[in-house]
Structure formats: structure tokens, C-alpha cells
Amino acid sequence: MSTPHLEVVNERVRLIVDDKPFLILGVQWDCDSCFSKEEMNPLFPEARRMGANVAALPLYWREVESNVGTYDFTMLEERLKQAREHDLRIVLLWFGTWKNACSFYAPDHVRDDHATFRYARDRDGNELVSFCPTSEVTWQADRDALVGVTRYLRDHDKQNTVILIQIENESGILGSSRCFCENCNRLFREGNYAEQFGPEADEALSVVSFATYIDRIASDVKAVKNIPCYTNVWPSQQVDRIPGTYPSGGGASQMLDLYYEQLNHLDFLAPDVYTDGVTDFGRVCSQYSVAGRPLYIAEHSSSKHGRAERNVFYALASPNAIGFDPWAIDSPYPDMYSEPLVDPIGHEWGRQAYWLRDSYVAIGRAISPIVMYQGTKSFFCFVQEPGEKGTSISGALTTLRIAYHDRDGMARGFIIETNPAEYLLIGSGFSVRFRKKGKDSAYPVKRADFGRFDGDEFHVLHQMRRERLEGEGLPVTLMEPGVIRVTLEISPDS
């Protein structure tokens, strides 16, 4: 088997795992839930029951290198062991120099030695919570630790349980538009940033500094094991944005092109999306997937009102989408005081866990055709929004009339036209009538099979019971999450 990698097929980006197209249906553990087996391990079976195929797991610099130059991979091995036992892949989240632009997950010998490991400074010379991105000493220590992790993966993860590495977490500077230390001031002057970028000069220097720092680490990581690497982004406000109120330099949408210009080894940037509105979510997806860039929603609300069960369909409808990952399985956000997907003590499920399960189960049973048809005119996505009762889709010869029946008012799905006489229905909570275009009649359904895909092969679990013909007006109904393959009876004179 080849190492997990990204490749371009028909001008669309694909994540390849075990030599097959793969979509990440992930759940992320809470920030501090991977320090101990007691807290981490019970969540693996819950993630698998939820239909996830990936566990996004933090790995902490302070855990790996609690003593200078000595690396401990005990809990890394436990992560690999648990994921394999539960048939999950891992997206490994390196909490190194920055986590939410702060330094908490760096080892104490790094965090506490301000003279050696330089912190960023504001315009008045005050230290900030963020490390300076131009400190070579900090970069070398972070790089050495993550390269050590990668060597361990190269030697102990031959089956490629880890399929992606996230380098840092929401990097950037908080509290200032850039670092004003002596070294950064020199780079600012020598790079003529004020002349080149005008009012965005400070943020531009931050972007170049952070992108270069992370890209250099990615280069050395991939020299050990050539696995896809990315970093995630805390997005900026769309209006009245002030760099430093969000992490300046972290790859916000208005600076994406500049950030990507610095990259030679890091594969992509992935947004963290906690917006409630469907319009805002769609905008972020579009911003981060332009120019053929992969779209991976690295974090997304997991709370009851967070819409993960719906937005996963919107996200994966993007031509370059490779995955979706709510944060966190054991901690809700942004509704921090509501019930989580999985209670960390009793492991009871919140209501939204069942909704996400239904979405993941349906999508997980049809990954191969979804990846094959993403972004084509034969691929259709629909999601029930408040007040909606249905929609219509125009196929080659057929008008598909979709009615929503989900008990919670969130019917959702994909429809794929594999040929004019065959359709795949993927999702839950809806029915479809196959009407002849321009005529007040329907095509008879020759066969409707409920099943799942194993790679490119469709396995029938049961044939749908149909006592009357579709021509009499009965739709094909998909209430439980899954996949139905519908074959229509279309004759030349239809």
C-alpha cells in the first residue's frame, strides 16, 4: 500500500488512503482528553458507533518532550493501538509552539525560559501570549520533537493508521497585529512591508513569518515520512476585522493567497468553522477551496445547535472536499454548557450525536461514488432548512421531486445520477418521485435496492418492498440513513 497522499483526478483533489479515495468523517477529542488512557480510550468505541472513520487526536509537545531532548511515545503508541482496534484512522494534531495562538502545550522548559524561547511583543514592547514566529531556537526545538514523532510513525505505523498531520493549531499572534521585537522590526523594514502592503503590512509580515515557520517543519517531517501535512485556521471577522483579535498571521481568508505563496511543503490550510448560519458556512467553504485547494473542515461545532449533521453534506458537496471534523466528541462548542456528543463520564449520547451518526452512516456507505462524482453535473446536494418541505432536481431525462419527512426537520442527502436510468439516493429523511420531464407522469421503478458500497462495488442489503408501481405515483422513500440504488424503466418511446 502506498502512503496516504493527495492527488488530482479530473482537476479535483482527492485524499488517497490504502490506494483508494477516502473521505474523512471525523470526530475530534477535546483539547486535554489524550493525556491519559482513562480519559482517551473510552471514546474510541463511541466514535466508531457514531459512524466516524477518523479520530482527530491531539498530540502534545509537553507530553512527548517533558524533559529536554528525551522523547516519550507511550501515549502515541496507545493512540495507534486504540484506533486500530476500533477500525479508525487518525488525523494527528500537533499541539506544539502554538495552540489557539498560545503556548500552553509547549514543555515547561520551553514556556518558562523567556530568554531562550522568545515571546512575541506588542508595539509597546510588552510580552504577549504567543511565541515569536521568527525565533530559530523555538523552531528548532519544535521541529526536532515533531520529526521524532514522525520517525516513530515511520517505524511503528507501517499500516498508515495516521493519514494526516496537523502542524500547530490555530497559529498566529493574539493581542497585536505582529511581533514588534527587534528581529521582526528588522524584517519589516528590510522587506519593505509598509510600501508593499500598506495598511495590511503588519498582518502580511505575520503571515509570511508563520507560513515559513510551519512550512519548514513540514519539509523535515515529510523527509522522514511523506504524509500529507496541513495547518488549521481561526478565521477572521468578515467586517471590522482587527488582526490580533484573531490570530494575526494564521491564514485568514483575506491573506490566503499570500500564505499559500510561502508554501513549498505544507499541503493546505483548513478552516475551523463555528458559524451558525448556512450562508456564512458556505462562504468559508468557498474561500478555502478556491484554485483547486483541498477543503477539510478541521473543526466544526459539535453542539446541539451547531448543524454538524447538515453542514457535513454542504461541505462534502464541494468539488475538492476531503473531510469534516466536529470538535469535540466529549465537549460541546460553542454552546459550552450544553450536552456534548458523548458524556465523558457515563458515555451517554446527546441528541445531536444521533443526528451526526445518521449523516456519517449514510455517507460512509457511499464514499467511492461520492468522491467519483463530487463537483460534476451528475451530483446533487440538498439539505432541509427551516420552513422547507422539499425541492426539485433536474436530471438528464427526469425531474426528481424530493419531499422532506425527517422527524426533526433536517432531511439531508446526496443524489447521484450514474446514468439516465440509474440514481443513488444517499442520506435520510426524504422521498423521491421520478417524473418524466415535461410530462405529468412518472417513470416506473424497475428496481430499488438498499445497500452499501465497498469500494466501487455495491452490495445489496435488501430489495425495497414496492407493492405498487412508481407510475402510480408512489415515491422511493429513504427514512433510515443509508443508500438506495434506483433503476428506472426507461424505454425509447418513454
Among residues of the chain, what percentage have pLDDT more than 70? 98
What span, in angstroms and rounded, lies between the C-alpha atoms of 230 and 413? 28
| 7-60 pLDDT, tens digit each | 998 889 999 999 999 999 999 999 999 999 999 999 999 999 999 999 999 999
What span, in angstroms and rounded, lies between the C-alpha atoms of 404 and 84? 38
**Which residues, other chains included, contact 287 with Cβ-Cβ below 8 Å and sequence gap of 6+?**
253, 256, 271
Task: Provide the grid cell at 89.
Answer: 484512522
Q: What is the DSSP letter of 210?
A: H
Task: Determine the Cα angle at 321 with ends 315 and 322, to 5°.
Answer: 115
Q: Rounded mean pLDDT of 165-191?
A: 98
Kind of pairing between the strands at 321-324 and 24-28 = parallel
pLDDT of residue 107: 98
Among residues of the chain, what percentage have pLDDT more than 90? 92
If you search the block for the grid coordinates 466544526, which residue do you land on?
300
| 118-134 pLDDT, tens digit each | 999 999 999 999 999 99
| 356-386 pLDDT, tens digit each | 999 999 999 999 999 999 999 999 999 999 9
Q: Which amino acid is at 98?
A: W
pLDDT of residue 471: 46
pLDDT of residue 57: 98
DSSP codes of every residue in 250-281: S--GGGHHHHHHT-SS--EEEEEE----HHHH
Per domain, the residue ranges of the chain are 5-364, 379-488
427 three-state secondary structure: strand
Q: Rounded mean pLDDT of 436-444?
A: 89
- Is residue 1 over pLDDT 90? no
**In contact, 48 and 88? CB cutoff 8 Å:** yes
pLDDT of residue 494: 60
Task: Provide the grid cell at 44.
Answer: 474510541
Binning pLDDT at 50, 70 and 90, where does residue 275 land? Answer: confident
The closest alpha carbon to 367, from 309, 298, 295, 453, belongs to 453
Buried b (16+ CB within 10 A) or exposed e, 226-261: ebbbbbbbbbbeeeebebbebbbbbbbbebbebbee
- Is residue 468 over pLDDT 90? no
Q: Tell me if the bond preceding 328 is cis, omega within 30° of 0.
A: yes
Q: Rounded mean pLDDT of 186-195?
A: 98
How long a stretch of residues is the chain? 494
What span, in angstroms and rounded, lies between the C-alpha atoms of 397 and 378? 12
Q: What is the mean pLDDT of the chain?
A: 96
What span, in angstroms and rounded, lies between the C-alpha atoms of 404 and 271? 30
**Which residues, other chains included, contact 410 with Cβ-Cβ below 8 Å and sequence gap of 6+?**
309, 310, 355, 383, 384, 429
| 132-160 pLDDT, tens digit each | 999 999 999 999 999 999 999 999 999 99
Q: Rounded mean pLDDT of 53-74?
A: 98
Q: Rounded mean pLDDT of 236-249?
A: 90
Instruction: Give the fold, CATH level 3, of 5-364.
Output: TIM Barrel (3.20.20)
Binning pLDDT at 50, 70 and 90, where does residue 467 land? Answer: low
C-beta atoms surrounding 184 within 10 Å: 23
- Is residue 213 over pLDDT 50? yes
Positive or negative, the CA dihedral 241, 335, 323, 404 is negative
Please give the backbone phi and psi of residue 329, each rounded to the nearest 5 degrees, phi first. -65, -30
C-beta atoms surrounding 328 within 10 Å: 23
What span, in angstroms and rounded, lies between the C-alpha atoms of 110 and 115? 10
pLDDT of residue 440: 85
What span, in angstroms and rounded, lies between the C-alpha atoms of 135 and 3? 32
Buried b (16+ CB within 10 A) or exposed e, 455-472: eeebeeeeebeeeeebee
DSSP bridge pairs for 54: 26, 89
**What's CA 218's distance to the chain center, in Å?**
19
- Is residue 472 over pLDDT 60? no
Q: E strand or H helix at 430, and its extent?
A: strand 430-436
- Is residue 469 over pLDDT 70? no
pLDDT of residue 493: 66
| 299-356 pLDDT, tens digit each | 999 999 999 999 999 999 999 999 999 999 999 988 888 999 999 999 999 999 999 9
DSSP bridge pairs for 400: 393, 434
Q: Rounded mean pLDDT of 71-75?
A: 98
379-488: CATH, from 3.30.420.40, 2.40.10.10, 3.40.50.970, 2.60.220.20: 2.60.220.20
